[in-house]
Amino acid sequence: LDRLDVECTQYTPAPELLRANHDEAPVNETLVSHLLKSNCLVTGQPDWGSVQIQYSGAQIEQEGLLQYLVSFRNHNEFHEQCVERIFMDIWTRCRPIKLAVYARYTRRGGLDINPFRTSHPGALPANVRTARQ
């Protein structure tokens, strides 16, 4: 997603940016962005993460999805809550058949936090540390 040329103007979560094309055949797709950033609910420090969105269903409009992920920039919430919010917003707005959202955040304070939320069993990805961690 990160190579898309989009203009981002929303910096608080904006689920209205999420759209899917329900007029076309369903797809199976995995989308990745390294531009997820929110702020710690307690300290306000920045939390940077990579997010993987795997889904089956109507194709999600990628430009809107990237704008949506960037919209977390000024948002204060714990990692797990952000992933739950992303999952529920996509689930509600785009209505996929299956959905999995996996975020791998950069370490802060020596803690490795990698929240995962899925609508179906068996979707758990390998726990492999990325270069950014």
**Residue 128 located in a structural domain:** no
* CATH code of residue 50: 3.30.1130.10
* Residue of 8, 23, 40, 82 marked catalytic: 40
**Residue 23 located in a structural domain:** yes
Average pLDDT on 118-128 reads: 75
> Which residue range is the domain that position 91 belongs to?
15-118
**Residue 103 located in a structural domain:** yes
**Residue 42 located in a structural domain:** yes
**Residue 99 located in a structural domain:** yes
Q: Is 40 assigned a catalytic role?
A: yes
Chain segment 25-69, per-residue pLDDT in tens: 999 999 999 999 999 999 989 999 999 999 999 999 999 999 999
* Residue of 2, 8, 23, 47 marked catalytic: 47
Number of domains in the chain: 1
Q: Is 47 assigned a catalytic role?
A: yes
**Residue 73 located in a structural domain:** yes
Computed from CA positions of residues 106, 111, 112, 118, in that sequence, does the dihedral angle turn out positive or negative? Answer: negative
The tokens describing 57, both together, are 């269903």
pTM to 2 decimals? 0.89
